[in-house]
Amino acid sequence: MDHSKQTQYSSNEKKDAGASSSVLNGHFDGMVKRPAGGTGRAAASQPPGAESSSHRPAASVMESWREERTRSVEDNEMSLPSLAAAYTTILRGLGEDPQRQGLLKTPWRAATAMQFFTKGYQEKIIDVLNDAIFDEDHDEMVIVKDIDMFSMCEHHLVPIFGRVHIGYLPNKRVLGLSKLARIVEIYSRRLQVQERLTKQIAVAITEALQPTGVGVVIEATHMCMVMRGVQKMNSKTVTSTMLGVFREDPKTRDEFLTLIRS
Amino acid sequence: MEYHNASAKNGAAAEYQNMCIESKHNDLHKEDSKDSKDSAGADKLAHIEKAYTTVLSELGEDVKREGLLRTPLRAAKAMQFLTKGYKETTQDILNDAIFDENHDEMVIVKDIDLFSLCEHHLVPFFGKAHIAYLPNKKVVGLSKLARIVEIYSRRLQVQERLTKQIASAISEALEPAGVAVVIEAVHMCMVMRGVQKMNASTVTSVMLGSFNDNSETRKEFLALTMRK
């Protein structure tokens, strides 16, 4: 049931599928000039042959947990000088003087900060999850709510922050609770769009646990709307993804939404 | 190559630097003719845009994917908006809104939403500013206090300096008996990264004139603004 739900989802996202698969391609093209971190990426580029073809569209759509991009710590070190140079250009372009005392090391600090804000590209779901899936005869709803989330808007490179609420109905397998928060971290520490982030978290949990259902709700403030543009201080954006029985059964969905609100 | 282009702008940058440190040098920037300013502006935007394209590709992203196609331009424009305070001066906004009024009681404008950029990490910090002054025959239009906050906050800032610049600007413009500025802000560089403390906020204050000398005045101001 879950598989069919997934493919139904993924067929709706054919447009994204093209863009996302080129994401992985584009990423590898960009990294070709750095042979040092090659092995990790080569492994990630082959989708596991064992998976059925119904998973392939979902994988390419969602950059799912088997095909994570793998920026490495070495990549970070090697790109730091050009990142810092780019930030120096930005400072000059804004009319500031990069030589004044407060700004002397800013290009390096900003570059490292930006690498931290996109560290989700360095991590793989499979590393985070593999040892924390337990067989448990529990089939009631499990909710982890009010998970603080910080992301970067991919359109303006300005922070997004908010809270994530996750609920799932286990089907004989439960997940270590902090691993739900770690999944949020991996996907949120990237250049993101809130809709895609919500879906990626839900799909990752579905693929890892094959639960009866998953619900993810994200409530976030977008600095690109608050600090600039339309400048609405108090606006919040809420997105949700309901998979499996959360989607089909309104009572389950209601229970989840009531519990996260209390 | 970026450095060669950038060095030509140091002269202009130096003038902006003077402006951002001392509010006294308010009239320096007006020399540029409008035409040269426009083409120089477009030029700068192109440089910043190119720098953001480099940033995106160095972070491992694919600059050709749909969501990122125009991001360098949007990010460059966003950054220019967030630092638009460099081009504005207190004199421009205040000159016509100072009125002679025989009022010498405290005037407070509080809960002014404030958004700035940390100059160390280029990451936002935001919060509220509370401003009070004791007029000495001259009062200022109330929204002008908020506009002064805007001018100095839309820059690469340090919260301490921001507080002092706002206080000095009001002091110079109105020559009041006293000025007080309190800023309470959350710094994303502390929340999103580094020490990652979600609930920490930073409070800075500057007290000039009778707010500094007279503790009763200061107490009244703090009681009226810090009340939850």
Report pLDDT for A37. 38
The set of residues, in sequence order, having a beta carbon less than 8 Å from that of A165 and lying 6+ positions away, is A143, A144, A145, A146, A147, A216, A217, A218, A219, A260
Question: Which residues of A participate in catalysis according to the annotation?
Answer: 153-156, 194, 222, 224
Report pLDDT for B37. 64
Residue A43 in contact with partner chain B when CB distance is under 8 A: no
Test A23 with B65 for CB contact under 8 angstroms: yes
Residue B189 in contact with partner chain A when CB distance is under 8 A: yes
B87-105 b/e (C-beta count within 10 Å ≥ 16 → b):
bbbbeebbeeeeeeeeeee
Tell the burial category of B56 from Cβ atoms under 10 Å away from its Cβ (0-12, 13-18, 19+): buried
Report pLDDT for A86. 95
pLDDT, chain A, mean: 79
User: Looking at the predicted structure, is the pLDDT value of residue A19 above 90?
Assistant: no
Nearest CA in chain B to A87: B51
pLDDT tens per residue, range A136-184 = 888 899 999 999 999 999 999 999 999 999 999 999 899 999 899 999 9
Report pLDDT for B35. 63
Mean pLDDT of the B201-218 span: 95
Alpha-carbon gap: A58 to the closest alpha carbon of chain B (Å): 18
The residue ranking higher by pLDDT, B32 or A97, is: A97
Test A95 with B83 for CB contact under 8 angstroms: yes
Report pLDDT for A68. 57
User: Looking at the predicted structure, is the pLDDT value of residue B219 above 70?
Assistant: yes
Percent residues over pLDDT 90 in chain A:
61
DSSP class per residue in B52-117: HHHHHHHTT--TTSGGGTTHHHHHHHHHHHHTGGGG--HHHHHTT-EEE----S-EEEEEEEEEEE
Q: pLDDT confidence of A3, banded at 50, 70, 90?
A: very low
Report pLDDT for A62. 43
Alpha-carbon gap: A172 to the closest alpha carbon of chain B (Å): 35
CB atoms within 10 A of CB A77: 11
Q: pLDDT confidence of B36, banded at 50, 70, 90?
A: low
Which residue from A27, A106, A158 is facing B120, i.e. has the nearest CB? A106
Residue B113 in contact with partner chain A when CB distance is under 8 A: yes
Percent residues over pLDDT 90 in chain B:
66
Report pLDDT for B51. 95
Report pLDDT for B228. 62
Test A87 with B75 for CB contact under 8 angstroms: no
Residue B36 in contact with partner chain A when CB distance is under 8 A: no
User: Looking at the predicted structure, is the pLDDT value of residue B29 above 60?
Assistant: no
The size of the A-B interface in CB pairs under 8 A is 192
Neighboring chain B residues of A73 at a CB cutoff of 8 Å? none
Q: Which of A51-55, B82-86, B132-136, B214-218 is least confident?
A: A51-55
Pairing state between β B156-157 and B138-140: unpaired
A197-210 b/e (C-beta count within 10 Å ≥ 16 → b):
bbbbbbbbbbbbbe
Mean pLDDT of the B64-75 span: 93
| CA-based end-to-end distance of chain A | 30
Q: Which of A77-81, B27-31, B59-63 is least confident?
A: B27-31
pLDDT tens per residue, range A79-128 = 999 999 999 999 999 999 999 999 999 999 999 999 999 999 988 888 88
